[in-house]
Amino acid sequence: MTAPTVTITDLRHAFGGTEVLAIDRLVLPSGTTAILGPNGSGKTTLVRLLATVLEIQQGSVQVGALDLTQTPHRTEFRRQLGFAMQDERLPARMRVGEFCNYVAALNEIGPRRRRLRWTNYVLAEVGLSDSRGTRIQDLSGGMRRRVLLAQAMLGDPQVLLLDEPLVSLDAAHRAAIVRSIAASAQHRTTVVATHHADELATICRHVVVLVAGQAVFAGSPTELAAVAKGRTFETATTPTDPAARAMGPDRFRLVDDCPPDGVAVEPTVHDGYLAVVSDSLVR
Amino acid sequence: MHAVEAALRDQATLPMRFGPSAERPIEPARLDENLLMVHTELDAPTPSRLERILTRLGVPDTTIPLVTATPALRRSWFLAVLIAVLFALSAASNEGAGVDRIAVFLTLAPLVPLAGVALAFGRGVDPTHELVVAAPQDTFRVFLVRALTVMAASSLILLLASLFLPAGGIFRFAWLLPALAVTTATMAASRHLEPRRAALPIAGAWIALVLIVTQAASAQAMFGPVLQLAAAAVTGIAAVALWRQRTALEFGPGSGSNA
């Protein structure tokens, strides 16, 4: 089975009369797509709309042959969906294995033995095999994040939607999660809303940048990095640009006009992202 | 377990044990898959007492985890219910006769399943709410399963408590239909209000009704046949209203106010 393409057309969403998302047209191909954007840019709203947690108010979302504005199509889509929300609050008293068994039942995986097999498999995938009997309240934030990813992979979904899966993880665990996402990316459509552009760039085929609810960039990670070509510098002078990053004790990296002692450097995906956000805010 | 694992891992011993057909090397992925199956069988947790009871009662296999995961169905909730019931029992007055002696119990008892339903489902009370909505299981069905679970559990405790009431005859069960009425009305209001929000005004209305009628007439009049008929009617109307909006509850209780 080939992984489906997600096509978004004229999608608008408002909370209490305030429009938070306005996407004219966006295509998310199979493979992994990263959704980047500053806080409040509409990443989570977009993921929740794709996950059918929020009702589509205006516009359409097509996943393969399924139209998510239609109830029977939504139900069918949910059978192919794995979803990990941003909020890592989980039922504190439940044990990890019990929680996975519960989510597997929600996903119509049965009988119990089959749910247990899936539970063992996904927990092994995220390195939590030994925590099956641990209560969720006794897990660290990073481990809860991995439990969230594990439950999303139950039943080997065709579409995987992950909202900030790398938040509150240390570098080693972030790398492990990225590996897990990459390992299964070939045969599914994965959409990841994240702030960690560089870490996911290596495994993404496609990147979308949202600013103020609008998709201001859609393309490959290489194309995104190229936006900052000739605009990315390293300098020893403390820059005034709040988006400048410290690269060492006296080294700063910024995407801006060339500072007096600036040295042009090869831009990364993160630099490209900063350039796109900066350009769209100027507009 | 270690012996099974060793046998699976030690490919060199396979030709000896199973003949020349086993000389073909085993793919590591298949070996891991087989080991996972062996581990699953051996490490499978024993079903809890509640799970075993539900299986014996014929509850479908995929419904059992939904019942056991009901947020309100925790030891702390049962403890709270027991305390509430004991309080209501101890409040049974020594003065008066019949229904007057158990009026406090009859007033408070319907609020117990109501509180359970209010805390069984919805955004604010269930951390897995978004996972429930994004799952293929019908959200309305999950809501119904949890509400019925809480209602059944609390009603069982209340029925047992009713047997220990000092007076009342058949009136000791006069809380049952009002309990059904207030819980069903709360669920019927959930298209536009989360159950925990809908429960508060409904509980308030119930207490106000009891106070007004008992002040104006008597507890006997309050919990008599007229109330029972009215409660049955409210239950019926609310159940029909709930059923008619089952598809609208796809995005969870309270989603109607966001549309």
Strand partners, A123: none
Cross-chain Cβ contact B130/A48 below 8 Å = yes
Q: What is the pLDDT of residue A179?
A: 85
Q: What is the pLDDT of residue B259?
A: 42
pLDDT tens digits, A224-236: 999 999 989 888 8
Nearest to A180 by CA among A82, A46, A254, A73: A82
> Is residue A193 over pLDDT 70?
yes
Q: What is the pLDDT along chain B (259 residues), one digit of tens a residue?
A: 555 556 555 554 555 555 555 556 667 777 777 776 676 666 677 888 888 888 999 999 889 999 888 876 677 677 778 887 787 777 665 666 666 778 888 999 999 999 999 988 888 888 999 999 999 999 999 999 999 999 998 999 899 888 888 777 888 899 999 999 999 999 999 888 899 999 999 999 999 999 999 888 888 888 999 999 999 999 999 999 999 999 888 988 877 655 4
Kindly list the residues of chain B whose beta carbon comes within 8 Å of any beta carbon in chain A: 36-37, 39-40, 43-45, 47, 61-66, 68-69, 71, 74, 126-128, 130-137, 142, 247, 250-251, 255, 258-259
- Angstrom distances, CA of residue A275 to CA of A253, A280, B93: 13, 9, 76
Q: What is the pLDDT of residue A217?
A: 96
Q: What is the pTM of this model?
A: 0.85
Distance to chain A for B68, nearest Cα, Å? 9
What lies within 8 Å, CB to CB, of B114 at 6+ separation is B179, B182, B183, B186, B199, B202, B203
pLDDT tens digits, A102-121: 999 999 998 888 999 999 99
Distance to chain B for A172, nearest Cα, Å? 24
Runs of H (alpha helix) within chain B = 2-9, 14-18, 28-43, 49-56, 64-68, 75-90, 103-108, 111-118, 129-134, 139-163, 176-188, 195-216, 219-222, 225-244
H/E run at residue B46: none
Residue from A106, A117, A148 whose CB has the most chain B CBs within 10 Å, to mutate: A106
Nearest to A97 by CA among B148, B39, B144: B39
Beta carbons of B214 and B107 less than 8 angstroms apart: no
The C-alpha atoms of residue A85 and residue B162 are separated, in whole angstroms, by 44
Q: What is the pLDDT of residue B34?
A: 74
Burial, A112: exposed, middle or buried (Cβ in 10 Å; 0-12, 13-18, 19+)?
buried
Position A219 confidence tier, pLDDT thresholds 50, 70, 90: very high
What proportion of chain A, given as a percentage, has pLDDT over 90?
61
Distance to chain A for B133, nearest Cα, Å? 6
Q: Over range A29-41, report the average pLDDT.
A: 93
Q: What is the pLDDT of residue B9?
A: 58
pLDDT tens digits, A43-83: 999 999 999 999 999 999 999 999 999 999 999 999 999 99
Residue count of chain A, please give it. Answer: 283
Q: What is the pLDDT of residue B25?
A: 62
Q: Over range A202-216, report the average pLDDT.
A: 93
Q: What is the pLDDT of residue B167?
A: 73
